A and B are shown apart, each in its own frame.
Chain A
Amino acid sequence: MQRGIPATAAALGMALVLASCSGGSDNNDNEPTASESTGVAGSMTIWVDETRINDFESVIQKFADERGVDVQVVQKASGDIRTEFVQQVPTGEGPDVIIGAHDWLGEFVSNGVVAPVELGDKAAGFAEAATKAFAYEGTNYGVPYAIESIALVRNDELATETPATFDELIEQGKELDAKYPVLLQQGAEGDAYHMYPLQTSFGAPVFTSEDDGSYTTELGMGGEAGHNFAEYLKKLGGEGILDSNIGGDQAKEAFIKGESPYIITGPWYANEFAAEGMTISVHEVPSAGGEPAQPFVGVQGAYISAKANNPVLAQDFVVNYLSTEEAADEIHAAGGRVPALTASADKMTDELAKSFGEVAAAGAPMPSIPEMGSVWAYWGATQVAIFTGQEKDPVAAWDRMLENINSEIAGG
């Protein structure tokens, strides 16, 4: 008896392990499709992570009922979903559709794991920035469903007027005798995403842009603008405004406790503040360097696997269904994100979502080129080293960062 169990487990384990590791299995063979006998038109698999699954559960259910197809939703961890998708698609074990952010696009295209989509006339229904975000070298690879960006969230019980510049805002916070004049989450690894509005206000975007708004692979953070920003970081660090001990959780807690009138954050925390019963309002981040402070705009959307087992169903869901007003309303009702479909966005009643939508409209799209992957880690780490004072010379540190990113881009 006992002899058999390990052997069974081994046979099973062997089958599973080998199947999951075997690359290059060919999906063009005539596989037996189970769908023909189950009475549904077909089946497909969708991967979505825990931060987006709430948006999609009901809309996927509706689609499945309407089209008579069987849809399997697989929840993946947000830290792994990208990497896993890139690894699994070639083996034929990947999903038909993956829900994610537009800045994954570069990685997906350079690995050949996503399929192009053609929106045709439907493209006109979306905010232009949203569809552009899913384009790479003139081809579209995804369909957007929501737009989001960070903004300045104000605790209206502590402050009712917001000044025009960031320095005045800090002054105001100090006068109010708040524990923190303004909360800007960083953490030990840095957080260039939350810092970006301040950086753009110095006129130092991460990459330079073409005339049509698409990013080039040339860094735009160099030169005097970048140096001024680096100096400013050091100044804020010296004043204690920026602190590597304050990560997302600490910032959120402090704001809920009323220890600061302002926090720079996105809808994900703002909705929590509202749920706590706080009176808050959403504003553009005041400029620190004289130019408009543009936050990164992230676009959420759906991609289709290059090796989808059910390409027609996947395209039908992504292109034809997600572009309907009904689906966009459903997703907005479920998750509260600002819809990328203009018709749905115009109908929004939620004040918070509206204000976030207005801030995002003036933001800068997050680059989705593969080169962006080389930027993130260096960027945050350098900013932390500057404002904590580890790097004595901010300008030299900044220039070294640019050099490192460029050599990483040039061939790693």
Chain B
Amino acid sequence: MSIGQQAATPPHSRKRSGAGIQDASPARNFTAGFFAKLAIMAVINAFGLYGLYASWAVGAWGVFTGLAIAVIVANWVYFSRRAIPGKYLYPGLLFLFTYQLFTMVYTGYVAFTNYGDGHNSTKADAISSILSYNEKRVEGTAGYPITVLEDADGNIAFGIVDDGQSKVGANDTALENIDAPNDGARITDIDGYTILDFAQIAANQDEVVNLRVPISDDPNDGSLRTTDATNAYVYRSVLEYDESRDVMTNVETGVEYTPSDRGNFVSADGEELSPGWRVFVGGENFTKMFTDSRLSGPFFQILVWTFVFAFLSVATTFALGLALALVFNDPRVRGRKFYRSLLILPYAFPGFLSALVWRGMLNERFGFINEVILQGSSVPWLTDPWLAKFSIIMVNLWLGFPYMFLICTGTLQSIPSDVLESARVDGASPWRVLRSIILPLLMVSTAPLLISSFAFNFNNFALIYMLTGGGPNFTGSPLLIGSTDILISMVYSVAFESGVKQYGLASAVSILIFIFVGIISWLGFRKTKQLEEI
């Protein structure tokens, strides 16, 4: 790939006889703009090539391919004369692919696997972990201080001192006596080998830790291995893996373990080896929500509350925001600017922080609300199921009304005043004006925002998590979910907080939630089209 080449040789601008043609693009004339572009593209290509090199080095082929395509397309777009729209669209498209589509596709992929605790990685990783966990020290054998050696061909070997006798062995050659001086613990000098120092060992770490030196010609005696390159111990593998048959065998009992379609090595009588690996499980995660009785029981209850919460959040914030906007839109109110800026304040605090502050203020015993405002009464704001629901709606109202106030103020100011005046001349009451003129006009521009607000609150994980943590918990439920949990926080507690992490299940339910929100939004937007036909 000669990406740099293209940049270095700009397309020849054909000499045109007709002078004064002013349509020459920077790509064809050596203007300052062209050189600026050249410099920027050079930087992008440099990053691209570095990324390609790095991903190639670790063998991440998906990243490599994606990056290669991105870089090639970038060069084509910015150096070709034909891709004018592309010059504007390409960065946005790239972001879309990277940050949106890729995560969606990845979530979709995880949803069909059993990724989670116990199935955390690939089969190769699982095999190497199982093998290393099942190398047991041979009982009654001593540990030996070792010397790490390298022979003339660059192969690593171990030297030990056993009862004053120096011995050397390598991967397939058992320990044998050798005539070399030692200090009682380690060999000090040896012909035909170099003794490696710490830095040289550090450069050959994998070879050193993977070396197994048989103690004798009988493999059942075990082999020497080291983990820290200073001491070695005698180990015997309890399990051996036969790659050609894809079978784990326990050398002591002879039991064979074969891979199951659930991503574990399983013996004939059902004993599983841990860890397992990630496998495709099809649509199991999607149906689990409805077939697992522990999930399906509270699911309906939580679904209803999620809708109620999202709807009430939008309704209350919109009602309050609109009311305030109407009041402060009236020219008879003095100091409107001051009040308006004051009303934006809750919007200026980060929601995370506000929710935590409210959690403290609503504490039954020490909270500001009970202690100071209610003079030491103990209202269980966050610990009673109904009051907790009420508190959540109220805090969300506090967080959300400034936004509604802003958009309503903006829309009110765009309603032509002559329409309102003619209504007043015709003798319409203010209530009638609001209902028949202001609201319909207002809804045209705010309805899409209300739908997006609904979708946002449907998944308002941060508020629930920070304010109540989903509690108070349902008593007697088999899962740790509570009366203020919404769908997304229920998924969170099922997938992450109940002890065993289940990323596959979490991804699947996230997709289900996405479909819910998508359908609601789609229906909503179809409705708003009708509004516009006023």
B475 and A110 contact, CB distance less than 8 A:
no
B499 contacts which of A40, A188, A412 (Cβ < 8 Å)? A412
Give per-residue flags for A359-398: 1 if the beta carbon is below 8 A from chain B beta carbons, else 0: 0000000000010111111100100010010110000010
Q: Which of A9-17, A264-272, A285-293 contacts B (4 or more CB under 8 A)?
A: A9-17
- Known contacts A18-B55, A250-B366, A374-B498, then 5 further A-B pairs from the complex at CB < 8 Å, ordered by chain A residue: A11-B51, A14-B98, A21-B103, A118-B227, A377-B498
For B198, the chain A residues whose CB sits under 8 A away are 41, 67-68
Contact partners of B87 in chain A: CB under 8 A: 3
B33-51 at interface with A (beta carbon < 8 Å): 36-37, 40-41, 43-44, 47-48, 50-51
A86 within 8 A of B: yes
In Å, the complex CA distance between A403 and B479 comes to: 11
- In the complex with contacts A118-B233, A407-B478, A375-B499 CB distance below 8 A: yes
Contacts of B437 in A (CB 8 A): none
Q: How far is the CB of B234 from chain A (nearest CB, A)?
A: 11
> What are 15 A-B pairs with beta-carbon distances under 8 A?
A1-B36, A19-B51, A19-B63, A83-B496, A109-B275, A112-B126, A138-B136, A245-B365, A312-B209, A315-B209, A316-B230, A375-B499, A377-B498, A404-B478, A412-B498
Q: How far is the CA of A139 from the CA of B143 in the complex (A)?
A: 16
Flag the segment in A22-30, A57-65, A160-168, A217-225 that touches B.
Answer: A22-30
Complex-state Cα separation, A188 to B468, whole angstroms: 9
Min C-beta distance of A371 to chain B, whole Å: 8
Return B488 CB to nearest CB of chain A, in Å: 18
List of B residues within 8 angstroms of A107 by Cβ:
117
A residues within 8 A CB of B480?
377-378, 381
The size of the chain A interface, using a CB distance under 8 A, is: 93
Chain B residues whose C-beta falls within 8 Å of the C-beta of A33 in the assembled complex? 203
- Across the interface, do A111 and B366 meet the contact criterion of CB distance under 8 Å? no
A381:B102 contact, CB within 8 angstroms = no
A397 to B51, CA, bound (A): 56
Interface residue count on the B side (C-beta < 8 Å): 93
User: Are A381 and B130 in contact, CB atoms less than 8 angstroms apart?
Assistant: no
Please state if A390 and B132 are interface contacts (CB–CB under 8 Å).
Answer: no
Cβ–Cβ contact A116 & B132, under 8 A: yes
Q: Which residue of B lies closest to A381 (CB)?
A: B473
A35 is an interface residue with CB less than 8 A from chain B:
yes
Report chain A residues within 8 Å CB of B383: 188, 244, 388, 390
Give, as a whole number of angstroms, the nearest-CB distance from B461 to chain A: 16
CB of A277 within 8 Å of the partner chain: no
Most buried by B among A15, A89, A90, A312: A312
A90 touches B202 (CB 8 A): no
Q: Measured between alpha carbons, how far is A383 from B160 in the docked complex, in Å?
A: 58
Q: Is the CB of A139 within 8 A of B133?
A: yes
Tell me whether A17 and B98 are in contact (CB under 8 A): yes
B65-73, B340-348, B450-458, B519-527 - the one binding chain A: B65-73
CB contacts under 8 Å to B, within A77-99, are 83, 86-87, 89-90, 92
The reply to whether the CB of A71 lies closer than 8 angstroms to some CB of chain B is no
CB of B431 within 8 Å of the partner chain? no
User: Chain B at the A interface: mostly helix, strand, loop or mixed?
Assistant: helix
Q: How far is the CB of B405 from chain A (nearest CB, A)?
A: 32
Give the distance to chain A from B431, nearest Cβ to Cβ, in Å. 45
Residues in chain A near residue B502, CB distance under 8 A: 412
A18 contacts B209, CB within 8 Å?
no
Determine if A12 and B47 form an interchain contact, defined as CB atoms under 8 angstroms apart.
yes
Q: Decide yes or no whether B471 CB sits under 8 A from chain A.
A: yes
For residue A10, which residue of chain B has the nearest CB?
B94
Chain B residues numbered 336-393 whose CB sits less than 8 Å from any CB in chain A? 363-366, 382-383
Docked-complex contact A115 and B59, CB < 8 angstroms: no
Measured between C-beta atoms, what is the minimum distance from B470 to chain A in Å? 10
A313 within 8 A of B: yes
Determine if A35 and B203 form an interchain contact, defined as CB atoms under 8 angstroms apart.
yes
**When the two chains form the complex, which single residue of B70, B118, B132 contacts A110, counting CB atoms closer than 8 Å?**
B118
Q: A112-B129, A316-B230 are in contact. Are A246 and B202 (CB under 8 A)?
A: no
**Is there an interface contact between B133 and A109, defined as CB atoms closer than 8 Å?**
yes
B366–A112 CB distance below 8 A: no
Q: Are A23 and B121 in contact (CB under 8 A)?
A: yes
CB <8 Å contact, A376 and B499: yes
Whether A115 pairs with B227 at a CB distance below 8 angstroms is: yes
How far does the alpha carbon of A54 sit from the alpha carbon of B195 in the complex, in Å? 38
**Docked CA distance A121–B142 (Å):** 9
6 smallest CB-CB distances across A and B, nearest first, come from: A4-B40, A112-B129, A42-B202, A90-B121, A112-B275, A374-B499
A contact set with B: CB distance below 8 Å = 1, 3-8, 10-15, 17-19, 21-29, 31-33, 35-36, 40-42, 67-69, 83, 86-87, 89-90, 92, 107, 109-113, 115-118, 120-121, 138-139, 188-189, 243-246, 250, 306-307, 310-313, 315-316, 319-320, 370, 372-378, 381, 385, 388, 390-391, 397, 400, 403-404, 407-408, 412
Report the bound CA distance from A4 to B206 in whole Å: 43
B232 CB → nearest A CB, Å: 9
Nearest CB on A from B154, distance (A)? 14
Q: A107 — nearest CB in chain B belongs to which residue?
A: B117
Give B267-291 as 1s and 0s: 1 = Cβ < 8 Å from A's Cβ atoms: 0000000110000000000000000
Q: A41-B202, A112-B130, A120-B233 are in contact. Are A188 and B471 (CB under 8 A)?
A: yes
Q: Are A3 and B78 touching (Cβ within 8 A)?
A: yes
B137 in the interface, Cβ–Cβ < 8 Å? yes
Which chain A residue lies CB-closest to B233? Answer: A118
Is there a chain A Cβ closer than 8 Å to B205's Cβ? Answer: yes
A372 to B118, CA, bound (A): 14
Q: Which of A23, A41, A400 is B199 in contact with, Cβ under 8 Å?
A: A41
In the complex, chain B residues whose CB is within 8 Å of the CB of A35: 202-203
B274 A311 Cβ-Cβ under 8 A: no
- B120 within 8 Å of A by Cβ? yes
User: Is B74 interfacial (CB-CB < 8 Å)?
Assistant: yes
Residue of B nearest to A31 (CB): B57
Whole-angstrom distance between the Cβ of B253 and the nearest chain A Cβ: 16
Q: Which of A11, A188, A306, A388 counts the most B-chain CB atoms under 10 A from its CB?
A: A11
Give A376 to B425 CA distance when docked, in angstroms.
70
B498: chain A residues within 8 A (beta carbon)? 374, 377, 408, 412
Minimum Cβ distance to chain B for residue A148 (Å): 23
Q: Give the chain A neighbours of B531 by CB distance below 8 A.
A: none
Known: A19-B63, A120-B233, A188-B471. A311 touches B120 (CB 8 A): no
Inter-chain contacts of A69 with B (CB < 8 A): 202
Mask: chain B, 166-210; 1 = CB below 8 Å from A; 0 = not: 000000000000000000000000000000001101110110110
B365 engages A400 (CB within 8 Å): no
Please give the distance in Å from B49's CB to the nearest CB on chain A. 10
**Is there contact, CB below 8 Å, between A312 and B365?**
no
Smallest CB separation, B477 vs chain A (Å) = 8
Instruction: Output the least CB separation between B75 and chain A (Å).
Output: 10
Measured between beta carbons, the chain A residues less than 8 angstroms from B117 are 86, 107, 110-111, 370, 373
**Are B98 and A10 neighbours in the complex by a CB distance under 8 Å?**
yes
Contact of A18 among B66, B206, B468 (CB under 8 A): B66
Whether A22 lies near B63 (C-beta < 8 A) is yes
Residue B95 is within 8 A (CB to CB) of chain A in the complex: yes
Report how far A199 CA is from B382 CA in the complex, Å.
27
Contact B91 A10 (CB under 8 A): yes
Say if the beta carbon of B256 comes within 8 Å of chain A. Answer: no
Closest to A376 in B: B499
Interface residues in B90-129 by Cβ distance below 8 A to A read 90-92, 94-95, 98-99, 102-103, 106, 117-118, 120-122, 125-126, 128-129
Question: Is the beta-carbon distance between B129 and A7 smaller than 8 angstroms?
Answer: no
| Contact call A11/B106, Cβ cutoff below 8 A | no
Chain B residues whose C-beta falls within 8 Å of the C-beta of A6 in the assembled complex = 91-92, 95
Q: Decide yes or no whether B54 CB sits under 8 A from chain A.
A: yes
- Contact between chains at A11 and B47 (CB < 8 Å): yes
Measured between beta carbons, the chain B residues less than 8 angstroms from A320 are 228, 230
- B 500-513 to A, binary, CB cutoff 8 A, 1 in contact else 0: 11100000000000
Q: How far is the CA of A83 from the CA of B501 in the complex (A)?
A: 9
B416 sits at the interface (CB 8 A): no
Cα–Cα, bound, A385→B482 (Å): 12
CB-nearest residue of chain B to A403: B478
